[in-house]
Structure 1
Amino acid sequence: MAPSPPKIIESCQISPPTGSVPETSIPLTFFDVRWLNFAPVERLFFYSFQDSTSHFTSSCLPALKSSLSLALQSFFPLAGNIRLAPETTNKYEIHYVDSDSVLFTVVESDQYDELFGDHPREISKLKELVPRLSKNESDERQPVLAIQVTLFPYHGLVIGTSVHHSACDGSGFVTFMCTWATICCTSNSKVIPAPTPVRVEFDRSIIHVPDSIYTTALNGTSTNFNLNNSQPDHQMFIASYKLNRERIQLLQQVLLREAEKRNVTVRCSTVVVTYAFVWVGYVKAKSTISENEDAHCVFAIDHRQWFQPPVPESYFGNCIGPGIVRAKVKDLVGPNGFFEACQAIGKVFDEAKRVGIQNAKDWRKAVLEIASKKPFGSSGSHRFKVYDVDFGWGKPSKVDIVSISYSGAMAVAQSREEEGGVEIGLYFTQRETDMFTNYFEEGLRYMSTLSN
């Protein structure tokens, strides 16, 4: 029997409590405007839910909506809109006025088996769980956040989010999700302590950069907010892989042993060994890349700690820049590919720590120069506590970043099972998935022989 098409149960707008937030304009910094025309970040939080639709709508939905309203009081920019600031030609801001809101949609579906789990899942199916973030055609404002809850009666539910990257980075958004979930648990009368008031810092004057860097970052940007909402390819999949703490320690041991043999110093962090191991497999799976070419890896570097004084963790906005790594394909696919990748990635981290944002004026040009070469990228972080987002149904069974379909990036998240592990999501064809899976399993076995 063919699955039934998804059915919309409710669609509404959720605002912070009336009168709780004054009209506010928050200027975008150069860290923010870099993302103006990028696709939204799309996350899916999967949960087990063993009750009926009627139970959900009567017992769970009211708490979800009321707690979202209260969470938006602290994170009100998510209910606002991005716009060109009045009487300016190139200054953008997030503008919030009372009654601004977030689109909140509830959908019922019966396609549970195809979507839940770690097996490769068709991207077009996953995209049905993601809300569309569309601009206001009447006044050219760009909403910041949309949310969709998809219910699979007696099986599970998924909370899908689309957030505009110019409003915040992943750290701030996951903090919002944890806040919403905690308030929801409390309003459901669960035996959980009342939520501690969230301190969120919106002051953009913390980010001290020359105006010229802002202008450079904005160069070529328009008010069209040309977000990429293209239709996904039915032949593409998101596949998940896990590096537990033991496997990461194994990779670190192999790296340190090779560095000792070569008498060189290396950065041996979880990020370095994870990105390096996956990057090598990615290059091998993408058989269209010639060994005579350069391979490129782009990942986010958090600059909060390198400002003086450091930007507080409570800052809600963007403070990340690109780290661009280059390496010869022939070196990455060779016998010492993992070490070569680790060295290349570690050097970029070390350079970023040394120079901070001194080269920020060149970031846009550097990214554009390699964009056509489809670099290996990353989205998310193993430091984001995505599996702490518990609305009262238990922690998520799975968290995906499906917007990696726009760029082909690697999705990174904390491990659900243990502290110190990492989950990886990759956007591949079936053939590439098979090739990477083989590399992943064989590569770890080979690493085990090197560490003995």
Structure 2
Amino acid sequence: MRWFSTLARSFTVRRQRPTLVRPARPTPHETKLLADVDDQQGLCTHLSLLHFYSKRKWISDDNIIAKEDDPVKVIKAALAETLVFYYPFAGRLREVGPQKKLAVECTGEGALFIEANADLGLEELAEELHPPFPCLEELLFNVPGSDAILHSPLLLIQVTKFRCGGFAFGLRFNHTMTDGIGLVQFQKALAEIARGASAPSVNPVWERELLVAENPSSSAPPSVLHETDVVANTIRTLIIPHHLDHLVHRCLFLGQTEISAIRASLPAHLQSKCSTFEILTAAIWRCRTVALKPDSDEQVALLYAVNARQLFDPPLPQGYYGNVVKTAMVRTTARKMIADNSFEHAVKLVMQSKVESRKMSIKSASDMVLPDTPPIISLASFYAVSDARRMGFDEVDFGWGRPVFAGPVKNYIPGLSTFYIRARNLKGQHGVVVPIDLPEFAMENFFHEIETMVTSVN
């Protein structure tokens, strides 16, 4: 089986009362406007991640000896120090001006922090260390009243200690403040200070004025090319009767053997030219489309996130941690996706879009306007992908070594999106985890299509 199983394991987590962790020293009390690409409806949400760590490695990878063995004390103290440098995260969002632009009032109120203890060892969750997490509410508690966009904490962190000495680090963040790459920058700064550093190795840069549109609309700021914005602007017009309420949630693990087998199903001249991302994305998009059985004339669209930091001319400064994500879009018909050569067709479409995205140059936020998107008339007509494999979640070391799993906890829009994250299966094999949400009939079809692709060349 190439699916991870999901167990309905029951365990008890004892949480302490949530507290606010303030910056360790006084920070400026000022109001900072968000960039136009931050200030959009699609990013007005909170996203969550989980990291799992084994028992303490007394000497971390950079040979800094950690004297304190309690991860709660280490991370909580480091958070207070890190918020001195990232002090906007200790503030609260407000609406300012006649257009009600979002801004951070740097009040120094702090981030929410929860200490917890679980009555089991980390090894007992071995089969559940992947999305979707059945234990999410236990490991990242949604403090009542804390998840509003305005006037609420911008960060919530829960550290849950296991009986074995390992722990879970759960984090929820307000997406208007940062994207995945910016969040990893913050997490690495927190980890460096937890390991004994006096300051982050990369200084955080706010400078959101660099991403203000040159010719802003009179009614609203431009939309960044981002999968969440696409979904937010179209989800109200869904014509998907009840499908999103009857989804099966599975998690696909593809190791190097499976990925190589899928690659081998392509013509020889394409095999060496395709990246793993292009192989994965084309295969999953094609199998998902076939599994959902759309009308053959239906338009199907694939969107995927692109880190736009390297596309700016002049480049953005190192340490900028705002939202800088574009989305490339590919469109075709269901008929072409179901044809005999549909995988090759999908691969070529994704490859061409990657080439075009690398040729882009961005001079201002005006260049990040969302293109027209097709209407969502079925689950098959829209699919969004985010590649989190190289963002660095699995490099965050608080002094206990690298995590055994680290990354997002669930798909942003169940049924319409997915992400890729690096992980290991129970045999210790490295591979890619892909959370999948589909109706039950389509999940069976999808599983069959993936199995066929993996085994057809053997």
The question of 1:361 aligning with 2:369 is answered: yes
The one-letter amino acid paired with 1:132 is N
The question of 1:18 aligning with 2:22 is answered: no
Whether the aligned pair in 2 keeps the contact of 1:239 and 1:433 (CA below 8 Å) is no
More helix by share: 1
Partners of 2:389 and 2:140 lie apart in 1 by 22
**Residue 328 of structure 2: SS of its match in structure 1?**
strand
* Counterpart selection for 1:239 from 232, 244, 251: 251
Identity %: 22
State how 1:264-283 maps to structure 2 within 5 Å: 268-283=274-289
Partners of 2:443 and 2:342 lie apart in 1 by 20
Partners of 1:445 and 1:313 lie apart in 2 by 45
* Counterpart selection for 1:75 from 71, 82, 86: 86
Residue of structure 1 in register with 2:136 after alignment = 126
* Counterpart selection for 1:154 from 139, 164, 167: 164
Whether the aligned pair in 1 keeps the contact of 2:250 and 2:436 (CA below 8 Å) is yes
Partners of 1:412 and 1:29 lie apart in 2 by 27
Kindly provide the CA deviation profile for residues 263-320 of structure 1, in whole angstroms up to 9, marking residues without a partner as x: xxx97333222211222233344x3544442222221122222221122342110111
Residue of structure 2 in register with 1:44 after alignment = 50
* Counterpart selection for 1:84 from 85, 95, 105: 95
Whether the aligned pair in 1 keeps the contact of 2:93 and 2:103 (CA below 8 Å) is yes
Residue of structure 2 in register with 1:54 after alignment = none
Give the Å deviation of 1:414.
3.7
**Equivalenced residues, count:** 413
Whether the aligned pair in 2 keeps the contact of 1:11 and 1:106 (CA below 8 Å) is yes
Give the Å deviation of 1:184.
1.7
Kindly provide the CA deviation profile for residues 117-173 of structure 1, in whole angstroms up to 9, marking residues without a partner as x: 368766553344334377679994243211122333227432111111111110010
Kindly provide the CA deviation profile for residues 360-406 of structure 1, in whole angstroms up to 9, marking residues without a partner as x: 4344x537x44875622123422211111122333211224224153
C-alpha distance 69-137 of structure 1, shift in aligned 2 (>3 A): closer
**Residue 146 of structure 1: SS of its match in structure 2?**
strand
C-alpha distance 120-158 of structure 1, shift in aligned 2 (>3 A): closer
Residue of structure 1 in register with 2:232 after alignment = none
C-alpha distance 37-168 of structure 1, shift in aligned 2 (>3 A): closer
Partners of 1:144 and 1:267 lie apart in 2 by 42
The question of 1:63 aligning with 2:74 is answered: yes
The question of 1:209 aligning with 2:213 is answered: yes
Partners of 1:378 and 1:134 lie apart in 2 by 31
| CA RMSD between the two structures | 3.9
Residue of structure 1 in register with 2:401 after alignment = 394
5+ residue gaps, structure 2, are 1-8, 58-67, 230-243
Kindly provide the CA deviation profile for residues 299-348 of structure 1, in whole angstroms up to 9, marking residues without a partner as x: 11222222211223421101112222222223223332222112222333
Give the Å deviation of 1:13.
1.0
Partners of 2:437 and 2:148 lie apart in 1 by 35
* Counterpart selection for 1:164 from 157, 169, 174: 174
C-alpha distance 390-359 of structure 1, shift in aligned 2 (>3 A): closer
Partners of 1:12 and 1:173 lie apart in 2 by 21
Partners of 2:433 and 2:440 lie apart in 1 by 20
Residue of structure 2 in register with 1:346 after alignment = 351
Residue of structure 2 in register with 1:32 after alignment = 38
State how 1:376-415 maps to structure 2 within 5 Å: 376-404=383-411, 406-408=413-415, 409-415=417-423
The question of 1:101 aligning with 2:110 is answered: yes
C-alpha distance 360-194 of structure 1, shift in aligned 2 (>3 A): closer
Whether the aligned pair in 1 keeps the contact of 2:37 and 2:223 (CA below 8 Å) is no
* Counterpart selection for 1:322 from 327, 334, 345: 327
Kindly provide the CA deviation profile for residues 222-281 of structure 1, in whole angstroms up to 9, marking residues without a partner as x: xxxxxxxxxx9797434141343x655665566573559xxxxx9733322221122223
The question of 1:141 aligning with 2:141 is answered: no
Whether the aligned pair in 1 keeps the contact of 2:45 and 2:149 (CA below 8 Å) is no
5+ residue gaps, structure 1, are 52-56, 187-192, 222-231, 261-265
Partners of 1:268 and 1:139 lie apart in 2 by 40
Whether the aligned pair in 2 keeps the contact of 1:149 and 1:159 (CA below 8 Å) is yes
Whether the aligned pair in 2 keeps the contact of 1:120 and 1:238 (CA below 8 Å) is no
Partners of 2:131 and 2:306 lie apart in 1 by 29
Kindly provide the CA deviation profile for residues 60-108 of structure 1, in whole angstroms up to 9, marking residues without a partner as x: 32111001112222222222222212x44332212212x3211111233
C-alpha distance 328-70 of structure 1, shift in aligned 2 (>3 A): same
The one-letter amino acid paired with 1:276 is A
Q: Give the TM-score normalised by the residue count of structure 1.
A: 0.77
C-alpha distance 157-36 of structure 1, shift in aligned 2 (>3 A): same
Whether the aligned pair in 1 keeps the contact of 2:302 and 2:329 (CA below 8 Å) is yes
Give the Å deviation of 1:437.
4.2
State how 1:410-429 maps to structure 2 within 5 Å: 410-415=418-423, 422-428=432-438
State how 1:208-227 maps to structure 2 within 5 Å: 209-212=213-216, 215-217=220-222
**Residue 352 of structure 1: SS of its match in structure 2?**
helix
C-alpha distance 173-416 of structure 1, shift in aligned 2 (>3 A): farther
Give the Å deviation of 1:22.
1.1
C-alpha distance 430-160 of structure 1, shift in aligned 2 (>3 A): farther
Partners of 2:10 and 2:430 lie apart in 1 by 39
Q: Give the TM-score normalised by the residue count of structure 2.
A: 0.76
Whether the aligned pair in 2 keeps the contact of 1:304 and 1:310 (CA below 8 Å) is yes
C-alpha distance 381-370 of structure 1, shift in aligned 2 (>3 A): same
